[in-house]
A and B are shown apart, each in its own frame.
Chain A
Amino acid sequence: MNAISIQKLIKTYANGTKALKGIDLQVRSGDFFALLGANGAGKTTVIGIMTGLVNKTSGQMRIFDVDIDQDHPRAKTFMGVVPQEMNFNIFEKVEDILCSQAGYYGIPRAEAMRRCEVILKRLDLWEKRNHQSRTLSGGMKRRLMIGRALINHPQLLILDEPTAGVDVELRHEMWDFLRELNQNGTTILMTTHYLEEVEQMCKNAAIIKNGEIIACDQVKNLVRLVDQETYVVHVEHVHNLDRLNGHGVRRIDETTFEAELNKKERLNDFIARLSEAGMVLTDLRPKGNRLEKLFLRILKQN
């Protein structure tokens, strides 16, 4: 069964912005799916339409086979959403935020308290349950929103850039937590603009650019497209660049050039070839954003 099925989804905002230009997307039940795209690509808009925060302009959307036009409330019972921006009452206590959310889903108070305890303990927030949410750190606030999204035991968990602004250690903890949820059967849809995150966790991914899906495939197939890494090479003096053919070298200035390396190639071999060409290496670093490169590759393919 599909957890999410989207056909020809179009969203034009009141100010004329065409945020989605006819998107088709299927996410299988049980998948760990990434919606990958730069800022402004339309990721949050897709999620907003799913969760009832944005009105679509046209198109169809089904959540576990429930058409949102026919029964959006029922479709909402399947979902839990962790928004990109903080959206809880900053004066409310952590525990109250979770329990109220449970109440909105019609979960009886006693059951809500039980779930709240389990979730807060699992997310390391139990000590903070009686604190006002505004006193939490950034990472805790994010975990609070994850906890809130889990209170109705959703079959589909949606996370909008969950790791933005979260430090490295916490990010890895969050990855483990999400992996565990997914292994226990929760379908996860996550948006991000970090390719690394997708490689680490997701099975399938779609790439969205300017309101259009430009690729949708298994993550391993998508990443294969970017197994070339561009390096910026600093040497004492650039010469004999022709000796490095096969690396797509581009001379920048007297002491700098760029070279492409396949991920399978060893850096040592490349450095050895540099010495053979008589250049003395002073610095070597990977260049820029792999997501950007992935876009370029895909656009070139199409």
Chain B
Amino acid sequence: MTLNENYIALSTIVRKEVVRFMRIWSQTLLPSVITQTLYFVIFGKFIGSRIGDVGGISYMSFIIPGLVMMAVINNAFANVVSSFFGSKFQRSIEEILVSPMPNWIIIAGYVGGGTLRGVLCGILVFLVSIFFEHPMVHNFWLVIVFVVLTSVVFSLGGLANGIFAKKFDDVAIFPTFVLTPLTYLGGVFYSIHSLPEFWQKISYLNPILYMINGFRFGFYGISDVNVFLSLGILIFLAGSLTVINLRFLEKGTGLRA
């Protein structure tokens, strides 16, 4: 296919993905907004008022970037895994597989859709946070880069999960047993400097820690980790997950008998 044909194929998938999550917005956009608002109220307001400042900013301010990131991560992942597995389950994925579009367009299309939902949910949660705290932005572009790259990484992860999944249960395993624990332990609610040394060391193995801290650095200029290392990790994850997905599609893993 020519470059223009590739572009048309790509925008067809992205448009379809966006139409899908917008149509069922009460299942795709609303839940994160509600959950994160509860976190703002309970942790930020009720409990945060007793905690005092963390790293020189109020506790409410401290948790905002992490809670935005949590919404981005969950939604980017969920969008791609459920959409891709859904079309595998209904077999409508065959419409794409019989077409001449190259594998990288399939990946780009689904990841584009997931990234848009991740970023959109992030924006919505951020808008809610403005009701609780005046926003500060230390470095606007860093905020954008982190939110987009994180969304891309988890969309790619969701795609790999969707390709692999054989039944609906397989779709829930990774978010429940890996994603959620790593996010909660990734420094959304605390600076890891407040942990005992052993747990600090363990925390450094958690990639989500780097994303949340990098993102928080974009807002306040404070971070538990080196921001360039954070960027490096995101780029590395995006690169390797892209390669993995490409390999899956080439071999037909989970797609071709």
Q: Give chain A's interface residues, CB within 8 Å of chain B.
A: 13-14, 48, 51-55, 73-74, 76-77, 79, 81, 83, 85-90, 92, 97, 100-101, 103-109, 148
Contacts and interface: CB of A to CB of B under 8 A. Distances in A.
Classify the secondary structure of A's interface with B: loop
A190 B168 CA distance: 34
Contact of B99 (A48, A101, A109): A101
B138 interface: no
Interface string B137-165: 00000000000000000000000000000
A96 to B, nearest CB: 8
Between B6, B11, B252, B256, the greatest number of chain A beta carbons within 10 A of the residue's beta carbon is seen for B256
B5 A105 contact: yes
Contacts of B101: 73, 104-106
18 contacts: A48-B257, A52-B98, A53-B94, A55-B251, A55-B256, A55-B257, A77-B100, A81-B98, A92-B92, A97-B95, A100-B12, A103-B12, A104-B95, A105-B5, A106-B1, A106-B6, A106-B100, A148-B95
B8 A103 contact: yes
Contact of A105 (B9, B11, B256, B257): B9
Task: Give 4 nearest A-B pairs by CB, closest first.
Answer: A106-B5, A103-B12, A104-B99, A87-B91
Contacts of B99: 76, 101, 104-105
Contacts of A100: 12, 16, 95
Nearest to A15: B257
Contacts of B251: 55
Given A13-B257, A108-B8, A76 B100 contact: yes
A67 B94 CA distance: 21
A53 B4 contact: no
Nearest to B252: A55
Interface in B60-89: 87
Contacts of B8: 103, 106-109
B102 interface: yes
B90 interface: yes
B97 interface: yes
B176 interface: no
Contact of B100 (A13, A74, A86): A74
Contacts of B94: 53, 83, 87
Given A103-B12, A106-B1, A107-B8, A76 B102 contact: no
A89 B12 contact: no
A105 B96 CA distance: 9
B2 interface: yes
Contact of B12 (A54, A83, A92, A104): A104
Contacts of B12: 100, 103-104
Contacts of A89: 87, 90, 92
Interface size on B, as a range, is 20 to 34
Contacts of A81: 98
Given A89-B92, A90-B90, A107-B8, A52 B102 contact: no
A70 B12 CA distance: 26
Given A74-B100, A76-B98, A104 B87 contact: no
Contacts of B100: 73-74, 76-77, 105-106
Given A48-B257, A54-B257, A85-B91, A106 B2 contact: yes
Nearest to A17: B257
A87 to B, nearest CB: 4
Contact of A73 (B87, B91, B95, B102): B102
Nearest to A50: B98
A87 B257 contact: no
A97 B238 CA distance: 31
A73 B257 contact: no
A87 B90 CA distance: 6
A218 B27 CA distance: 57
A80 to B, nearest CB: 8
B18 to A, nearest CB: 13
A104 B97 CA distance: 9
A108 B2 CA distance: 12
A37 B5 CA distance: 38
Contact of B9 (A48, A86, A103): A103
A80 B81 CA distance: 28
Given A104-B9, A106-B5, A106-B8, A88 B98 contact: no
Given A100-B12, A105-B5, A106-B9, 9 more contacts: A55-B251, A74-B100, A83-B94, A86-B91, A88-B95, A100-B95, A103-B9, A104-B96, A106-B6
Interface string B1-42: 110111011011100100000000000000000000000000
Nearest to B2: A106
A265 to B, nearest CB: 48
Interface in B173-204: none
